[in-house]
């Protein structure tokens, strides 16, 4: 099929893009990498009046250091995230998770901002942002606001973004040097969305968990922060951690569902097992008898 007719604009600045979005009154759609949008257009599942192509806006690209954080432009390609030395050093779990996003071909065009803005509940990037405590900067003609990632998602493919707003920055707070990364997903094939996924980071100080950031993906209508498990881990000595008990607590935060890929019961069972196994392997701990 072919897309329905639409107008096309390609602004050079954020200010220009925001003005177009405001004038469109909800009838515009942004074009970043196009990996999701183009099939939707061709199937006429999306029929915007205006396509706003933001690929020419240079200020939306790149990785930079801010005070106590790393800032990533939303138009940074997924392949660029994988190759960036700053991200490999400061946000290794982000790079690890990105390697599971789509395929080599799609990562050449796909953007990190597109992945996060889409709000796919089984995707790696939204959950990684939630786990690491990222903030999402958005702009419109009305001004700029900063939205914590764990408040950004309200349902499958639904976010708090207003129709006239544009994501302009992804801000990840620093984690201490030498922090421990946590990542595991179960998918039917490499590149598929996860049936069950876990991502995050842990900090160990003097043999105790000093900081924890963990999130599920594929386990509910949005990425889900494993708050109960985080609280159970904080302050615990490694030798006292019962991985099975923490996994039980972690599952209590989830809301898995039945679909044609897997049942809710499958997701709960596998989620519990990968959480316990990943925790043991990551922290090199033994089962508590």
pLDDT in tens, 173-207: 999 999 999 999 999 998 889 999 999 999 999 99
Task: Note the pLDDT of residue 287.
Answer: 52
Task: Note the pLDDT of residue 225.
Answer: 98
Task: Note the pLDDT of residue 215.
Answer: 98
60-97 as b/e: b if 16+ CB within 10 A: bbebeeeeebbebbbbbbbbbbbebeebeebbbbbbbb
Mean pLDDT of the chain: 95
Task: Note the pLDDT of residue 289.
Answer: 42
Task: For residue 95, give the nearest of 224, 166, 197, 183 by alpha carbon.
Answer: 183
For the ranges 70-79, 257-266, 278-287, which has the lowest average pLDDT?
A: 278-287
Q: Please, what is the angle between helix 243-251 and helix 264-283, to 10°?
A: 140
Quote the percentage of the chain above a pLDDT of 90: 92
Alpha carbon of residue 29 to chain centroid: 20
Task: Note the pLDDT of residue 269.
Answer: 97
Task: Note the pLDDT of residue 288.
Answer: 46
Task: Note the pLDDT of residue 191.
Answer: 86
pLDDT at 228 over 80: yes
pLDDT digits (tens, 9 = 90+) for 55-110: 999 999 999 998 899 999 999 999 999 999 999 999 999 999 999 999 989 999 99
pLDDT at 273 over 90: yes
pLDDT digits (tens, 9 = 90+) for 25-47: 999 999 999 999 999 989 999 99
> What pLDDT band is residue 285 in, cutting at 50, 70 and 90?
low
pLDDT at 233 over 60: yes
Looking at residue 234, the DSSP 8-state letter turns out to be T
> What pLDDT band is residue 264 in, cutting at 50, 70 and 90?
very high
Task: For residue 50, give the nearest of 1, 15, 17 by alpha carbon.
Answer: 17
pLDDT digits (tens, 9 = 90+) for 151-168: 999 999 999 999 999 999
The answer to whether the predicted template modeling score (pTM) of the entire model surpasses 0.85 is yes
Alpha carbon of residue 11 to chain centroid: 26
What gap in Å lies between CA 192 and CA 218, rounded to an integer?
Answer: 11
Task: Note the pLDDT of residue 66.
Answer: 86
Contact 132, 213 (CB under 8 A): yes
């Amino acid at each position: 099929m072919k897309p329905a007719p639409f107008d096309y604009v390609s602004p050079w600045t954020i200010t220009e893009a925001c003005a177009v979005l405001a004038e469109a009154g909800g009838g515009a759609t942004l074009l970043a990498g196009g990996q999701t949008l183009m099939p939707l257009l061709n199937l006429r599942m999306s029929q915007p009046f205006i396509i706003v192509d933001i690929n020419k806006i240079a200020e939306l690209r790149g990785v930079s250091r801010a005070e106590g954080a790393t800032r990533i432009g939303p138009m940074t390609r997924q392949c660029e995230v994988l190759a960036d030395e700053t991200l490999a050093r400061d946000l290794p779990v982000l790079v690890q998770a990105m390697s599971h996003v789509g395929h080599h071909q799609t990562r050449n065009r796909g953007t990190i901002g597109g992945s996060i803005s889409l709000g796919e509940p089984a995707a790696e990037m939204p959950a990684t942002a939630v786990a690491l405590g990222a903030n999402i900067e958005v702009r419109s003609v009305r001004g700029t606001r900063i939205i914590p990632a764990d408040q950004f998602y309200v349902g499958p493919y639904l976010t708090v973004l207003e129709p006239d707003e544009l994501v302009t920055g992804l801000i990840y707070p620093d984690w201490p040097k030498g922090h421990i990364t946590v990542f595991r997903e179960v998918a039917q094939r490499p590149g598929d969305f996860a049936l069950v996924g876990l991502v995050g980071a842990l900090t160990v100080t003097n043999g105790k968990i000093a900081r924890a950031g963990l999130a599920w993906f594929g386990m509910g209508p949005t990425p889900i922060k494993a708050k109960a498990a985080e609280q159970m881990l904080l302050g615990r000595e490694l030798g006292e951690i019962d991985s099975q008990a923490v996994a039980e607590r972690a599952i209590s935060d989830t809301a898995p569902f039945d679909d044609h890929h897997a049942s809710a019961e499958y997701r709960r069972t596998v989620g519990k097992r990968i959480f316990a196994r990943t925790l043991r392997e990551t922290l090199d701990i033994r089962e508590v008898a």
